[in-house]
Amino acid sequence: MSSKLLLALLPLLLTAPAAAGEPLAVLSAGTGAYMESFSAFQAAYGREIPYFDMAGGKPAIPAGTSLIVAFGGKAANYAYPSGIPVIYCMAPGLFVKNGAQEGRSVKISLIPEFEKILSQLKEIQPGLKRLRALWMSPSFAKFAEPFREAGSALGMEVSVVKVSDPEDLPALLRQVSGSADAIWLPPDPLLISPENLMMFRDFSWSNGIPFYGSTKGMTREGAAASVGVSFSDMGDTAAEAARRLQAGETLPELIFPGRIELTLNASAARKCGLKFQPEVLKKASYLFP
């Protein structure tokens, strides 16, 4: 085979469809964070899994495919054949129903359990008593009451506010002054934009009220800290869910990864009058200057 022909076939070989009866991974794109999470999935699963890169087109699902593991919203929202269990991750603000799944459509959460999030925020800001959480995507509505209950168990008042339109944000932020000690943002694709993050950062820094995020990117853009889940941990959790499904277990619609990824922003903390204690710094995966 000539070298030119081999190079031409290489993308097809790397994204070859699974043989019948095998799991198949589908990636929204075969690069960056999607590949990082998928690589962690393969390592935790214990063997190489065929994958399809949707940047090259629609996935080919061979008859008899036993399981789909989707990475990214585009891959998660694809209309797969009915009856194939689907595990999906890295799909913020999205809950999918893939045909007749009989409860076997499982999402890997982008955030840890609420108790873990709030406990970590209390450690960062011991005086935190009132937390304002903002959201836009409809799928986050189901989390409002569990979030409040988790706060109540920790002696914290958590108020969850729906943002109907980004234009309402300035007024909603003005209401925070005097009524909340901090703001928290979920990984909500409708709410999180460069413009909105700049607005949260400027409000936070000008008023000395920390805002906390749920991804490393939010911390980089001005959140004092974020309590989230790493891409590799999402892959690990997806691998465990795959093994359990293939063993015949019935899994919940949503699974929270066990480990947290804590990221800190030293400049944002100083602007808000926060000082990270040594115990907090030791837990951090990233510390932005």
Q: Looking at the structure, do residues 28 and 60 belong to the same domain, yes or no?
A: yes
Residue 248 in any domain: the answer is no
Residue 247 in any domain: the answer is no
CA atoms within 13 A on the CB side of 260: 23
Give the pLDDT confidence of 24-36 residue by residue, as tens digits: 999 999 999 999 9
Provide the domain count of the chain: 2
Pairing of strands 130-135, 182-184: parallel
CA–CA gap between residue 56 and residue 105 (Å, rounded): 25
**Final residue of a structural domain among 75, 108, 141:** 108
Question: How high does pLDDT run on average in the chain?
Answer: 89
Q: Looking at the structure, do residues 129 and 218 belong to the same domain, yes or no?
A: yes
The reported pLDDT for the residue numbered 97 is: 66
User: pLDDT tier at 225 (50, 70, 90 boundaries)?
Assistant: very high
Structure tokens at 115: 């108790």
The reported pLDDT for the residue numbered 168 is: 95
CA–CA gap between residue 170 and residue 162 (Å, rounded): 14
CATH at residue 145:
3.40.50.2300
**Final residue of a structural domain among 58, 73, 108:** 108
Percentage above 70 pLDDT, the chain = 90
Q: Looking at the structure, do residues 76 and 146 belong to the same domain, yes or no?
A: no
Q: Looking at the structure, do residues 139 and 216 belong to the same domain, yes or no?
A: yes
- Residue 244, pLDDT above cutoff 70: yes
**Can you tell me the mean pLDDT for 91-102?**
67
Q: Looking at the structure, do residues 104 and 120 belong to the same domain, yes or no?
A: no
Segments in the chain forming alpha helices (H):
3-14, 32-45, 73-76, 114-124, 144-153, 169-176, 194-207, 216-220, 231-246, 266-271, 278-283
The reported pLDDT for the residue numbered 43 is: 97
CA–CA gap between residue 151 and residue 83 (Å, rounded): 38
Residue 239 in any domain: the answer is no
Domain limits for position 56: 3-108
**Final residue of a structural domain among 91, 108, 125:** 108
CA–CA gap between residue 41 and residue 106 (Å, rounded): 15
The secondary structure of 103-168, three-state, reads: CCEEEECCCCCHHHHHHHHHHHCCCCCEEEEEECCHHHHHHHHHHHHHHHHCCCEEEEEECCCHHH
User: Residues 54-73, buried b or exposed e (16+ Cβ, 10 A)?
Assistant: beeeebebeeebebbbbbbb
